Structure 1
Amino acid sequence: MLAPTFSSMTHVIAPPAATEIRRFSWVAGLALAAALALAGLALRQLPGLALFSPMILALLLGLALRAMIGSKPVLTPGLRLAARPVLRAGIILLGLQLTASEVATIGARGLLIVATSLVATFFVTRRLGVWLRVERGLAELLAAGTSICGASAIVATNAVTRAPEEDVAYAVACVTLFGTIAMLLYPVLPLGLSATNFGLWSGACIHEVGQVVAAAYQNSEQAGETGTIAKLARVAMLAPLVLSLGFARRTAKERDIPAAAPPVPWFVFGFVAMIVVASLYPIPHAAKQLSAQIAAFLLATALAAMGFETSFAALRSKGIRPLLLAASASLFIALFSFLLLCVST
């Protein structure tokens, strides 16, 4: 019987070793993203940082760590797991925070203002992106983040647009900047709006849920309640927008966008299913709070992974045009929704 050669022994031994390396890559990358997410949740407890969502803080921590230690290819498999499946699980869980009855409490007028402002802002932003020569994927991310719900909408939309990680980071940073400005500025403007109308306007035009809550409750409790519901109505519209965008991408005939390339965003159906569940079966308050915390952690984990996979050089290469687009989109949704509010009063 012939003794096994060194090469054959290597062939037998290598696969288990390679499997261990791959397993380490998955675990290490995912663990890093989760640790950054936990750090973001902890930082939010500090004075002054409660205004920012844990997603934003986790993204910034990921960017900062990447700047300090550079890219680590061994972590890539786990980071991709965090940026995709983990992200989609977080979006699905967001659906449990919404019910059809809650959304309906702002009435047909409120829903019409929210929906019209959303659709108009999305398409105007995309058109302005063409005029400013901003890459289509980045323009669509900015349009989604401004018109719907900030960072959550950006990362959900990217499942269809498939923009690079630096585009996601840039879009989140822009939407956070202008949403924060709106949160601080709008409550002190002498607009002469009633509490209900101010809440409806805040919910219709400010980007992040937390920013809407902070701005609207600064006016009054009634404005805060109305603003929160109006904002949740915008969040509920994430599903039809992402599905419509995915369908449009799949049927596009442009040469630079293969018709079959974008995937079907199946996780959006999970998001809708959770809304249906929450609408049909009353969820205990404690369970609803727990699901919100888990969703925040999962989304923060995804944003941390995207931040670590983003280089500052790539961000700088985007230039000022996307920033101008984000500013224009934020100004448009504020003015357009205010006009609709005044006309319908």
Structure 2
Amino acid sequence: MTAIEITRTPPSWIARHLPGLALTFTIATVATVAQRLTGIAALSPLVVAMVLGIGWRNLIGTADTARVGITFSLRRILRFAIVLLGFQLTLLQLRQVGVPGLAVIAVTLAATFCFTTWVGRLLGVEPRLTQLIAAGTSVCGASAVLATNTVTRGTDEDVAYAIACVTVFGSLAMLILPGLGGWLALDSGHYGIWIGASVHEVAQVVGAAFQHGPEAGQAGTVAKLSRVILLAPLILTLGALARRRGDDAQGSAPMPWFVLGFIAVVLLNSVMPLPDAARGAVVTLTGFLLTVALAAMGLETDIAKLRAKGIRPLALGAIATGFIVTLALCLVHLV
């Protein structure tokens, strides 16, 4: 083989992806270690990784050689992590919540998504960013934002802004709602379902629900995981609507096949649950891979473009959070 032929030989898959993967995995590791060292359960490694990624991109800069691996982290690794998320859910959890609890969760989720979309239109927030904020608020925070963007196709700045919104207001809800629940004199079960149906991130739900005891904590966690299951039909619906419109500049939205994988894993986990040791390992792996995806998102985010979004999306996040908290509380009392 001549020297010219050697130089024209395409680099291997590993060589092309390694720089970006090394960067995203390193940031994810630092974020995970930082959370464990602080011991603050509500300090999500996902958010820490995104912030670190944004700092790296805007202070140091991202080398061109890393972009392929970063893109792989943001797409392939993210979708694989969402499929693995199914191992944390079972159909039995839906039964534990009960029909009234499921009604509260489903109605709250659907109403919040529709309400947020409507208010976003009134405020003049860009439709893609509005949908991401609506998904993050109504379903499960950062994970829902990332998953929804596979069909919404917002910019990296849209995703970063939406995650910032659900993180800030979810954290505020985690701090405020336990005191409000005590003042309202809710019993443990009702309080837990209220928290699980309204607070954004799983970690935030755990932090808020267990403040009223183990029964409330268990009810809140199960309600929240039941709410996460509804992420699948939401993404499938949004994808179908986007394909029907066909108005995306890059073509119609792709079929989110990974969501079908997520559903299949939930069904499998319902009939053949993993042993406790294996389940713990899968939960840890899933969280870390989502953290890797958030690190990649941060590395793709330009602060100047993020600042240009203005304050209206932040106001939308605040209004959406107030709506879901109030509606869930009303439905818990009624049902």
TM-score after normalising by structure 2: 0.96
Equivalent of 2:259 in 261, 268, 277: 268
- Do residues 242 (structure 1) and 243 (structure 2) align? no
Equivalent of 1:226 in 211, 219, 237: 219
Equivalent of 1:162 in 147, 150, 153: 153
Distance in 2 of aligned mates of 1:314 and 1:50: 31
Equivalence for 1:282: 273
Structure 1 residue 167: Cα displacement? 0.9
Equivalent of 1:208 in 198, 201, 217: 201
Question: 1:243 is aligned with what amino acid?
Answer: L
Equivalence for 2:322: 331
Distance in 2 of aligned mates of 1:115 and 1:251: 25
Equivalent of 1:14 in 7, 17, 23: 7
Distance in 2 of aligned mates of 1:226 and 1:139: 30
- Assess if the C-alpha contact under 8 Å between 2:21 and 2:69 holds in 1: yes
Equivalence for 2:296: 305
Distance in 1 of aligned mates of 2:189 and 2:14: 54
- Assess if the C-alpha contact under 8 Å between 2:149 and 2:159 holds in 1: yes
- Do residues 97 (structure 1) and 52 (structure 2) align? no
SS in 1 for 2:38: coil
Gaps of 5+ in 2: none
Distance in 1 of aligned mates of 2:94 and 2:175: 25
Distance in 1 of aligned mates of 2:100 and 2:206: 21
Distance in 1 of aligned mates of 2:164 and 2:250: 30
Equivalence for 1:252: 245
Structure 1 residue 13: Cα displacement? 3.2
Distance in 2 of aligned mates of 1:10 and 1:61: 41
Q: Which moved more, 1:199-208 or 1:274-283?
A: 274-283
Equivalence for 1:45: 36
Equivalent of 2:51 in 60, 63, 74: 60
Go from structure 1 to structure 2 and tell me whether the alpha carbon gap of 1:55 and 1:202 turns closer, same or farther (over 3 Å shift).
same
Distance in 1 of aligned mates of 2:104 and 2:80: 30
RMSD: 1.6
- Do residues 217 (structure 1) and 210 (structure 2) align? yes
Gaps of 5+ in 1: 1-7
SS in 1 for 2:83: helix
Distance in 1 of aligned mates of 2:131 and 2:39: 31
Distance in 2 of aligned mates of 1:261 and 1:332: 31
Distance in 2 of aligned mates of 1:125 and 1:163: 17
Equivalence for 1:197: 190
| 1:71-111 Cα shifts (integer Å, max 9, x gaps) | 32221100000000000000000000001012210100000
Structure 1 residue 198: Cα displacement? 0.4
SS in 2 for 1:82: helix
Structure 1 residue 272: Cα displacement? 0.4
Distance in 1 of aligned mates of 2:196 and 2:136: 14
Structure 1 residue 14: Cα displacement? 2.4
Structure 1 residue 258: Cα displacement? 6.3
Structure 1 residue 9: Cα displacement? 6.0
- Assess if the C-alpha contact under 8 Å between 2:145 and 2:162 holds in 1: yes
Distance in 1 of aligned mates of 2:284 and 2:14: 28
TM-score after normalising by structure 1: 0.93
Equivalence for 2:285: 294
Distance in 2 of aligned mates of 1:113 and 1:155: 25
Show structure 1 runs of 4+ deviating over 4 A. Answer: 8-11
| 1:147-198 Cα shifts (integer Å, max 9, x gaps) | 0000110000000011111111111111000000000110011122111100
SS in 2 for 1:46: helix
SS in 1 for 2:104: helix
Correspondence list, 1:134-173, <5 A = 134-173=125-164
